[in-house]
Amino acid sequence: MSTSGMTASALHSDSALYTALALVIDMDPALVDIVGLSLRVSLSAVLTAALIGLPLGAALALWRLPGRGMVIVALNALMGLPPVVAGLGVYLLLSRAGPLGELGLLFTPSAMIIAQVVLVLPIIAALARQLVEELWGEYREQLTSFGLSRACAIPTLLWDARFGLITVVLAGFGRASAEVGAVLIVGGNIDGVTRVMTTAIALETSKGNLPLALGLGIVLLSLVALVNGAAYVIGEAARRRLG
């Protein structure tokens, strides 16, 4: 069933909910496209942010450099960076007149991934820094006794903090998949190109197309619930198994 012909004004909110469930159950192509793009953008962003943020956080935990405190405060503050501000920053970078304008990335999924990396990276790096620093406090003497340098200790610490770090990465994914401001500004919410769940919900709601908005809302909520459930299960299993 396609949603495009649906006249929202005729719908009562109860029937909107039924229609929304039907859209989800029938795997409506418009809905599937939007969910697929959302996952692609957010997962790519989280993966990129994790690849940079985890070693960065660990390095910050281990090194005592001048200005380290400032970097940590800045990173912690950036955890609360408003998505629209991140979006604006990336927009300015990627816009035709901006320093990276020649790449022509604005209003593409790549631009959305970049904006979400900017949002998620501080979360992953700051929380990883905290976790690794705690673990380093416990492991420092033993690893030093093994003759490991600090740089060589990073992979060990990241691996041994793995269960806590999975929760950190999932928190990053939660942030990426839930935000709307950044992807709206740099993606432009173009139908079939850069429309993701959150921007679609905002648009469809304002258009009065409640079934699609609700259907996307259900998928988004389920996804967030799934992520949180996974984080809880992994954390509990780790506590039980590894002491």
Q: What are the residues binding other proteins (CB under 8 A)?
A: 138-139, 141-142, 144-148, 152, 156, 160, 162, 241-243
**Environment class of 186 (CB within 10 Å of its CB; exposed 0-12, middle 13-18, buried 19+):** buried
Burial call 4-16: b when 16+ CB within 10 Å, e when fewer: eebebeebeeeeb
Rank residues 208 and 235 by Cβ distance to other proteins and give the closer one.
Answer: 235
Helix (H) or strand (E) segment spanning residue 4: none
Structural tokens at position 188: 């432009």
Structural tokens at position 217: 């809302």
Helix (H) or strand (E) segment spanning residue 89: helix 83-94
Shortest Cβ 97–other proteins spacing (Å): 51
Shortest Cβ 133–other proteins spacing (Å): 16
Rank residues 137 and 229 by Cβ distance to other proteins and give the closer one.
Answer: 137
Shortest Cβ 31–other proteins spacing (Å): 41
Shortest Cβ 168–other proteins spacing (Å): 16
Burial call 47-57: b when 16+ CB within 10 Å, e when fewer: bbbbeebbbbb
Rank residues 192 and 243 by Cβ distance to other proteins and give the closer one.
Answer: 243
Rank residues 33 and 160 by Cβ distance to other proteins and give the closer one.
Answer: 160
Shortest Cβ 238–other proteins spacing (Å): 8
Rank residues 33 and 133 by Cβ distance to other proteins and give the closer one.
Answer: 133
Residue 239's CB is within 10 A of a number of other CB atoms, namely 10
